[in-house]
Structure 1
Amino acid sequence: MMISKEQFCAENYRRFFNRSHCLHVQSCIKESGQLLTLRFQIAPKRDGKVDFTNSPIFQLSAKELTSLCRFLIVRTDTVYEIPFHNGKTLKFTAEQSKGLNVQIIQKGNIASFMIPIDELFSLTGIAVSTLARREMLDSITVLTMIKNGL
């Protein structure tokens, strides 16, 4: 069954909030075809609504997506950082009793989002399903590959 880009993107995202910003995590199909990527976007909240105008977007490469899935599932490390060419860094810190702290660091400024343990499953699911679709495999195969160190 083929689904449109709009249907796919609408069904594969989660939003997490702090006091003044929203962290939007979404699977996306690139315009060039069926290449899938995981996108992190941070946007300010204004008048009770999220404003995505000119908000920074972080797209993960296949290698970064694989590493993130491994980090989310196996969690042998407590910190995983992804530096971007624009001087920003996406940092994930696993906190045993709280969940996952996601930080976007830019020249000393930090936006921080806590993803509770019960919400972590949805983020992991989005990451794994994106990797599975990207590699044209089923999720079980990808999970097995990640657990075996790919």
Structure 2
Amino acid sequence: MQARQSAIIFAWLLIAPALLYITAIVAYPLVDTFILSFTDASLRKTTNWVGWVNYEKIFNDTFATVIVRTFIWTFFSVSIKMIIGTFGAAMLNTAVPGRTLFRVLTMPPWIVPMAIGIFMWGWMYNGQFGMISGVLQRTGVVDGPVAFLAYG
């Protein structure tokens, strides 16, 4: 029993720094935002305490109308996308005329963004012309080009 309790305490001691760190990262912005919600904060340095005025502005008739419209739009948008997606999946998996054409037409939206991303990352890491190497040189962190993608 004693060994089990000491193991539990040891585990909590190991996890405590991470929990404190995460709590600080989440709690501070949350509390700060809550306090700011009771002020007329803007980009100016000075803020005035206005109390519940901001919440009264939010929960008026206009806000309720916007929320209802948002839910209606979301419902119909998701429903239409589900119907089109189900139809597309059926087209890809059943033997219907035009299935090969449909499969060919669905490939470019998957392949092109991936290919562009690969080329962009390759350009960014390029030792001579890459953006990362250029920024490091201009800020004085390194003296010459950095060959990130070189062997050895």
Q: TM-score, with normalisation over the residues of structure 2?
A: 0.17
Q: TM-score, with normalisation over the residues of structure 1?
A: 0.17
Greater relative contact order (Cα 8 A, min sep 6): structure 1 or 2?
A: 1
